[in-house]
Amino acid sequence: MKKQNSNTNILFLTELSVLIAIILLMAFTPIGYIKTAGLEITLITIPVIIGAITLGPVAGLILGTVFGITSFLQCILGMSPFGVVLLGINPLFCFLVCVPTRMLMGLVTGLIFKSLCKIKSPKYSITSLSGALLNTLFFMLALILCYWNTDFIQGIAESLGKTSILPFIIAFVGINGLVEAICCFVIAAAISRALDKFIKKM
């Protein structure tokens, strides 16, 4: 029993370490973000979702934390033009938009998968799509709560012709959120399903 637990812990830590390394690689190379004229389409949600599904909510929380910290570092290092502006307006708010939102996304994604295991459902697909949507939802909620009344966000809202919060969110996220959701739905679900089966066989 002790040997089995030890092997399980080693497997957990190994996969977690690999996923953290992938997040760091994606965060500081062009493969992690698809640059657009508006918000960046992030693909870093994919390893977070995979970890949350195959390793559980705690791993999702850890991976989400790493994701959030790299997002905040991108603001500090000037790698995200949008984030640089947010940082300049209020560094604390910028941290809240970047880090706790991603932590919560990883945790909740893991909890969703855990709850879906109890019922007959396409759990990998539902969880993967949920993770992508939660990432966008938590980010936008934090952005609105922290920055809605700033000249920067109000200026963007006026340029989009959306002065109310809900229409602004829909217009601001737009096609970027849709592409992000589709990527996570397809890629994360496929990898998670295969990896989860492999781990169970191990």
What whole-number distance in Å separates Cα of residue 14 and Cα of residue 40?
A: 30
Q: Is the pTM above the cut of 0.85?
A: yes
Instruction: Please state the separation of Cα 64 from the chain's center in Å.
Output: 6
Residue 63 near residue 19 (C-beta atoms within 8 A): yes
Q: Assign 30 a pLDDT band (cuts: 50, 70, 90).
A: confident
159: helix, strand or coil: helix
Instruction: Please state the separation of Cα 17 from the chain's center in Å.
Output: 17
Residue 195 tokens, joined: 């990896």
What whole-number distance in Å separates Cα of residue 23 and Cα of residue 78?
A: 18
User: pLDDT tens digits for 105-134?
Assistant: 999 999 999 999 877 778 999 999 999 999
- Residues of the chain with pLDDT > 70: what percent? 92
Residue 184 near residue 45 (C-beta atoms within 8 A): yes
What whole-number distance in Å separates Cα of residue 17 and Cα of residue 188?
A: 18
